[in-house]
């Protein structure tokens, strides 16, 4: 089987630890595997593979998670473990689902999947030191919901999953780290340092392939993003925004101005 078929196979694995190690093994041999970008693969039922627990509820059904109690900190880390598990799935889905793209695209998203698997394992390991395992708390499914909604639209997928939903992590992570630091959980802060560093790269990959897709289709990336937000009812992102991380991840000042609800900046004088 080629790389995309193997990515689909990994996506079907339900056990998070098995999935994480399967993805890492696939990434390690990616350069030596055959790759058929033009193959149209049949979608199995019940994607993605995931465990029976955690129980999935509406986003507004997940209670607040204070890091200043042991149970609250465990619930917070569980939520992060869930985000990282979903991030593995959406990266694998990006690899297998969309045919006809450059080889670099598939390798980029396999890299993302492998790094997300490392994140999930790190958080799950720390969660165990707090007396819990992944699955002990309820969780919501917002990342995969948008992945499913954009399954037939490559441009929308690149616009609304990595550079909208995942990019929220660039803004939220420093705020979460500040609370964890005050709570005295320095190991959790260190893990989130790793996640934030890698997520800048993941969002940059999303920005790159979104702009590539817009150029191929003759679309203005800024104007079309607004169309996609309305069409797919993407969540409205609210400040504060981590401008430094977003700029490092490839957002333009014009895009940041749109997010902040400000007029687009005037062009510089010649």
Mean pLDDT, each 10-residue run in order, the chain (270 residues): 96 98 97 96 94 88 85 96 96 98 98 98 98 95 89 96 93 96 97 98 97 97 94 89 96 91 48
Element at 79 (helix H, strand E) = helix 70-97
Closest CA to 62 of 71, 52, 73, 75: 75
Give the pLDDT confidence score for residue 78 in this predicted structure: 96
Distance of CA 230 to the CA centre of its chain: 21
Cα 98-103-108 angle, rounded to 5 deg: 80
Backbone angles phi, psi at 253, to 5 degrees: -60, -35
The tokens for 125 are: 């390991």
* Per-residue model confidence (pLDDT) at position 265: 43
Q: Check whether the bond before 48 is cis (ω within 30° of 0).
A: yes
What is residue 28's predicted lDDT score, i.e. its pLDDT?
97
The token duo for 41 is 């693969």
pTM assigned to the model:
0.94
- What tokens were used for 184? 């005295």
pLDDT reported for residue 221: 95
């Amino acid at each position: 089987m080629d790389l995309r078929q193997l990515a689909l196979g990994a996506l079907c694995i339900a056990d998070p630890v098995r999935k994480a190690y399967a993805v890492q093994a696939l990434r390690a041999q990616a350069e030596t595997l055959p790759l058929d970008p033009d193959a149209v693969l049949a979608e199995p039922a019940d994607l993605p593979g995931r465990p029976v627990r955690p129980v999935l509820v509406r986003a507004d059904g997940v209670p607040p998670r204070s890091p200043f109690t042991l149970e609250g900190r465990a619930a917070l880390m569980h939520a992060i473990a869930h985000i990282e598990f979903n991030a593995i799935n959406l990266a694998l889905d990006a690899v297998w689902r969309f045919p006809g793209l450059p080889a670099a695209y598939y390798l980029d998203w396999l890299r993302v999947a492998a790094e997300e698997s490392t994140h999930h394992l790190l958080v799950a390991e720390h969660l165990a030191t707090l007396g819990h395992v992944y699955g002990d708390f309820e969780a919501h499914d917002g990342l995969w919901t948008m992945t499913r909604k954009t399954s037939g639209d490559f441009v929308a997928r690149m616009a609304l999953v990595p550079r909208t939903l995942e990019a929220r992590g660039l803004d939220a992570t420093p705020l979460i780290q500040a609370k964890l630091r005050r709570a005295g959980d320095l190991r959790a802060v260190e893990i989130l340092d790793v996640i934030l560093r890698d997520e800048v790269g993941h969002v940059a990959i999303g920005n790159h392939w979104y702009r590539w897709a817009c150029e191929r289709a003759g679309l203005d990336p800024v104007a079309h993003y607004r169309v996609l937000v309305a069409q797919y009812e993407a969540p409205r992102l609210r400040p504060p925004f981590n401008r430094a991380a977003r700029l490092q991840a490839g957002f333009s000042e014009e895009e940041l101005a749109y997010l902040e609800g400000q007029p687009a900046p005037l062009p510089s004088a010649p």
